[in-house]
């Protein structure tokens, strides 16, 4: 039995929002547009097909990219080129063929077996970031049809150092709930209005909670278990309801 190859790779995962809501013709079109965008963005970063492996997931694409491709170049392309390519596609597409994408950039070890299957904790964690609520919520609120997050390793190794074209203040810490516990990551662009606070803190509500009970101005002559008993004076003497 052949032992799996253990490879250290840059991991790029990109998924299409609401793919299953489309009919077969629309899905075929969206797949062609998705693959074209990914190919052009990766080529602009210097990742030609000889330096990457692709897994087709129908509505998503996964890329294992050789570490010889600079991570700074990949991240700059995902921040700048990917939204531009997406805009160029969507501005000429009908409303039923609009493409909205979530993207994750991570690093780690992947084990490739004799069946060309990919396994590994780092890959699993990247998938959890892609499917997590914070990234989905961010895309729902974006007008540019694109949301990107990076793993802790990419933030620590690249983003935190303020490389040219990668402003670190554009990234915000998020926490992604998973079945194995909360996982930290960094979202490019504004945080969604409601999302788990970073590092397992209390959740931030989208809007202030609505006041409970009764809210009125005047004299309360009896309030028991959210029910008014007796009279309430709203105005001056003699004005009773």
Distance between first and last Cα of the chain: 86
Reported as a single tens digit per residue, the pLDDT across 114-140 is: 888 899 999 999 999 999 999 999 999
Q: Are 88 and 41 in contact (CB under 8 A)?
A: no
Domain residue ranges in the chain:
5-200, 211-241
What's the CATH architecture for 5-200?
Answer: 2-Layer Sandwich (3.30)
The span from the CA of 194 to the CA of 172, in Å, is 14
The span from the CA of 241 to the CA of 235, in Å, is 9
Residue 193 scores a pLDDT above 50: yes
Q: Are 150 and 105 in contact (CB under 8 A)?
A: yes
Note the pLDDT of residue 1.
Answer: 57
Q: pTM for the full model?
A: 0.79
With bands split at pLDDT 50, 70 and 90, how would you rate the model's confidence at 63? very high
- Region 230-239 average pLDDT: 49
Q: Are 190 and 204 in contact (CB under 8 A)?
A: no
With bands split at pLDDT 50, 70 and 90, how would you rate the model's confidence at 52? very high
The span from the CA of 195 to the CA of 205, in Å, is 7
With bands split at pLDDT 50, 70 and 90, how would you rate the model's confidence at 148? very high
- Region 138-157 average pLDDT: 96
With bands split at pLDDT 50, 70 and 90, how would you rate the model's confidence at 232? very low
- Region 198-203 average pLDDT: 48
């Amino acid at each position: 039995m052949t032992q799996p190859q253990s490879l250290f790779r840059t991991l790029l995962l990109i998924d299409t929002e609401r793919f299953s809501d489309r009919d077969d013709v629309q899905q075929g079109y969206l797949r062609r547009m998705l693959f074209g965008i990914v190919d052009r963005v990766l080529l602009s970063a210097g990742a030609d097909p000889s330096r990457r492996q692709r897994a087709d997931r129908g509505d998503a694409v996964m890329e294992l990219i050789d570490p010889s491709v600079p991570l700074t170049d990949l991240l700059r392309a995902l921040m700048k080129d990917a939204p531009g390519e997406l805009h160029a596609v969507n501005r000429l597409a009908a409303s039923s063929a609009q493409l909205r994408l979530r993207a994750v950039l991570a690093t780690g070890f992947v084990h490739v077996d004799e069946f060309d299957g990919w396994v590994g904790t780092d890959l699993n964690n990247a998938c959890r970031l892609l499917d997590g609520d914070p990234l989905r919520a961010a895309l729902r609120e974006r007008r540019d049809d694109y949301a990107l997050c990076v793993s802790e390793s990419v933030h620590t190794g690249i983003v935190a150092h303020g490389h040219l074209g990668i402003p670190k203040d554009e990234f915000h810490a998020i926490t992604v709930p998973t079945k194995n516990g909360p996982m930290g990551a960094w979202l490019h662009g504004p945080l969604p209005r409601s999302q788990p606070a970073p590092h397992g803190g209390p959740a931030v509500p989208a809007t202030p909670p609505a006041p409970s009970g009764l809210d009125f101005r005047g004299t309360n002559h009896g309030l028991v278990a959210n029910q008014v008993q007796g009279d309430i004076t709203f105005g001056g003497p003699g004005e009773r309801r």
